Amino acid sequence: MAPAVKTFKLTRRSALAGLVSAISSPALAGLRRETDLDVLVVGAGAAGIAAGRRLLASNKKFAIVEASDRMGGRCYTETATFNLPNDRGASAIHLPAQSTLAALAAKNGTELYQDPAREQIRVRKRIGVEKNLEEIHSKLELEEFYADSVRCRAAIAQAAADKGDVSCAEALPTDLGYWQRTMEFVLGPYRFGAELKELSAKEYTSCIDRSPKWLCRQGVGALIGKLALGVPIKFFSPVTLVDLGERSVTLAMGQEVVTARAAIITASTAVLASGKIEFRPHLPARYASAFEKLKLGSYDHVALTFEDNPLGLNANELVFEKAFTAKTAALFANVHGTRLSLLTLAGRTGAELADKGESAMTDFALDWISGIFGSRAKQAVSRMQATSWKKDPWTLGAFSSAPPGAQEARKALAEPLNEVVWFAGEAVHQNFWGTVGGAWQDGERAANAVIAQLDRKSA
């Protein structure tokens, strides 16, 4: 059994009582003519922590301010509900060799291991079929699923090679038959949190293949929390104003104000588009347009535990259904060999359920499980918990999707604003968006750029 993991969620008292000893209170006490810090990082998610570690190593005077009461952002490992590590947000590390995360995890005693990628395709209410026939049906369906998946990806790639840009939905083969809904869900909502009609074929093809996927036994959020140790963070500090100067930037957090030579803003594109953070003077149109274009998709989990293993599934086994409507889901069963499973609700159907509330999400999950595995499986569920990232006030969604023109939007966000503000996060990464590794890499990119800029000015 995996060791117990501390949940990285802090109370107001502990946060304000000295967790951030590296920030002296006078620095946040009020507006000062001279700069208080070299760099202020907004947001303590994966990108913010990655930037903070680089700044710490460079001996720059910096701090991270976080609007909520915890670090990690959309990387959040919760342990209290099931007494097991439950990743409420990001639950895997894609292509760990392309970032420093795998090496850092090993140094910090966190175990990463490759997802065995066991998949099943299930047909609703195929109950009472003899076991040997069930195995034959499942094998044939899985072969069909893989073959059509390859065809769909090839069709999207072909469409991307053309001069114009179309949606992935327009590029799909027209002869998918009863696999149509399954392909639409697996390639769109399950992979990117958005419908295929909302995804650019060019962007879809240019993004990095997310395989192999590595799992974190202690939890992705717990890993990010470990990597944040020693990095100065001030919680309960939502930034409401960014005032751009010629050589510095002033940020307001309620009644507190801090001035820095540069700022790295890692808030989600949905938060930035919402107007929760005011910019003075107003942002150039290309930035505001990028926030709107790189909107966050819908991607939530219903976490549940069963008594024993009524579904008869292996550890980390992934189950899709042969879907005949858009109202479908995916089950990641027996996470890390525990009794915890995650049902993914994504795209338009997931957003509609999340809008209706947790009870609608859990009811759907029970009906889905019952429809595929039978009523006994539904009755064996012992505890459930649903996420709703769209309703999280400091996130307002899951992760960025890629409509036509998204690449130009990311390029715009990667450019510094007035040479004093940098934006960073998964949405800014050119081809690794929507992943923890992409957020981490982009946080490092922004920090490296800021360090180089400050060093040039000091020379």
Q: Can you list the pairs that 309-313 forms with residues at least 24 positions away whose Cβ atoms lie under 8 Å?
A: 309/334, 309/339, 310/373, 310/376, 310/377, 310/380, 311/369, 311/373, 311/377, 313/120
Q: How many whole angstroms separate alpha carbon 93 and alpha carbon 74? A: 13
Q: Give me the domains of the chain, ranges plus CATH numbers.
A: 12-78+218-295+399-458 (3.50.50.60), 118-210+297-391 (3.90.660.10)
Q: How many whole angstroms separate alpha carbon 388 and alpha carbon 386? A: 7
Q: Which two tokens stand for residue 133?
A: 């026939």
Q: How many whole angstroms separate alpha carbon 410 and alpha carbon 432? A: 11
pLDDT at 142: 84
Within 10 angstroms of residue 153's Cβ, the number of other Cβ atoms is 17
Number of alpha carbons in the 13 Å side-chain half-sphere of residue 253: 22
Strand order in the sheet with 213-216: 93-94, 213-216, 112-114
Question: Would you say 185 and 328 are in contact if contact means Cβ atoms under 8 Å apart?
Answer: yes
Pairing assessment for the beta strands 241-244 and 249-253 based on DSSP bridges: antiparallel
pLDDT at 16: 31
Question: Would you say 183 and 169 are in contact if contact means Cβ atoms under 8 Å apart?
Answer: no
Pairing assessment for the beta strands 241-244 and 278-280 based on DSSP bridges: parallel
Each of the 459 residues of the chain gets a pLDDT tens digit; together they read 333 333 333 333 333 333 333 333 333 344 443 578 999 999 999 999 999 999 999 999 999 999 999 999 999 999 999 999 999 999 999 877 777 888 898 888 888 999 888 888 887 755 444 455 556 566 788 888 899 999 999 999 999 998 788 999 999 999 999 899 999 999 999 999 999 999 999 989 888 777 778 999 999 999 999 999 999 999 999 999 999 998 999 999 988 999 999 999 999 999 999 999 999 999 999 999 999 999 899 999 999 999 889 999 999 999 999 999 999 999 999 999 999 999 999 999 999 999 999 999 999 999 999 999 988 999 999 999 999 999 999 999 999 988 887 888 999 999 999 999 999 999 999 888 999 999 999 999 999 999 999 999 887
Q: How many whole angstroms separate alpha carbon 73 and alpha carbon 132? A: 46
* Helix residue ranges, H only, 188-275: 189-192, 201-206, 220-227, 269-274
Is 0.85 topped by the overall pTM?
A: yes
Q: Which two tokens stand for residue 339?
A: 């009794």
